[in-house]
């Protein structure tokens, strides 16, 4: 039976990096609402135009809009998913259960990390759009500056990865995370890992949690 994972954690806590490894090594599908929204913006769709300014400023997009986009992009019966960036608040957590997961149990995995580490990580984060690779100028630089090792494409510094926006996104995150943790704890499906460790060490923690 397909197993479902819900990744909870601050922007920059390493959710995306770990998700892409689980995709390669364990056959999960990664569904990131941030990526779906950025794809709409890149396409220039009506939805993309509506949300572009919101993403740039680091605010949250309307719950209903994101939920519809999520539903349109996953088929829970046949695949194991990693939900990354959704839920962002308690209402979204409840909607994910009621409208997407249904009778499928999911493990909620919380990537615990301090704000200071997150800010340093994000302002040094560079991403490759096509390959999905994520680099860090300090801890995982590309072999050639500014170029993706895998695809050769130019790396991007996301607009919302600038320091002022990162701090705003962290404030939003910290205000919303507590009720979500309580929600998943009460359902007995909350698991925590120490996300300040190296990528390899976090992956090992993750493997253990998945196999529980
Ligand atoms: P992320 O790539 O997960 O950091 O998301 C980037 C941006 O997309 C966020 O700062 C929000 O503006 C928007 N976004 C992504 N997921 C959601 C969500 N579940 N609810 C509302 N807005 C979202």
Predicted TM-score of the model (pTM): 0.86
Residue nearest to atom 1 of ligand 1 (CA): 34
Q: Residue for token digits 């990580």?
A: 121
- Sorted by sequence, the CB contacts under 8 Å of residue 190 that are 6+ apart come out as 108, 110, 181, 184
**CA distances in angstroms from 62 to 69, 117, 122, listed in the order given:** 11, 28, 24
The predicted model gives 176-195 an average pLDDT of 96
> In this predicted model, what pLDDT tens digit does every residue of 20-77 receive, in sequence order?
999 999 999 999 999 999 999 999 999 999 999 999 988 999 999 999 999 999 988 8
> In this predicted model, what pLDDT tens digit does every residue of 125-163 receive, in sequence order?
999 999 989 899 998 999 999 999 999 999 999 888 888
Please choose, from the candidates 19, 43, 26, 25, the residue with its C-alpha nearest in 3D space to the C-alpha of residue 202.
Answer: 19
Q: How far is the CA of 71 from the centre of ligand 1 (A)?
A: 15
Helix (H) or strand (E) run with residue 128 in it: none
How confident is the model at residue 11, as a pLDDT? Answer: 87
Mean of pLDDT over the chain: 93
How confident is the model at residue 3, as a pLDDT? Answer: 85
Which residues are identified as catalytic?
15, 88, 125, 158, 169
Residue nearest to atom 6 of ligand 1 (CA): 34
How confident is the model at residue 1, as a pLDDT? Answer: 52
């Amino acid at each position: 039976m397909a197993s479902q994972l819900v990744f909870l954690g601050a922007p920059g806590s390493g959710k995306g990096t770990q998700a892409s490894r689980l995709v390669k090594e364990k056959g999960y599908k990664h569904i990131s609402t941030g990526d779906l929204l950025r794809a709409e913006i890149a396409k220039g769709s009506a939805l993309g135009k509506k949300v572009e300014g919101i993403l740039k400023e680091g605010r949250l997009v309307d719950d209903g809009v994101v939920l519809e986009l999520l539903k349109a992009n996953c088929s829970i019966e046949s695949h194991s998913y990693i939900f990354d960036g959704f839920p962002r608040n308690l209402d979204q957590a409840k909607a994910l259960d009621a409208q997407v997961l249904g009778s499928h149990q999911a493990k909620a995995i919380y990537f615990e990390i301090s704000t200071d580490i997150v800010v340093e990580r994000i302002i040094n984060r560079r991403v490759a759009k096509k390959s999905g690779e994520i680099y860090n100028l300090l801890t995982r630089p590309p072999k050639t500056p500014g170029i993706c090792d895998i695809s050769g494409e130019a790396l991007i510094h996301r607009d919302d990865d600038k320091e002022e926006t990162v701090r705003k996104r962290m404030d939003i995150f910290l205000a919303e995370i507590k009720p979500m943790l309580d929600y998943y704890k009460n359902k007995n499906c909350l698991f925590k890992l120490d996300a300040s460790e190296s990528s390899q060490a976090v992956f090992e923690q993750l493997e253990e949690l998945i196999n529980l």
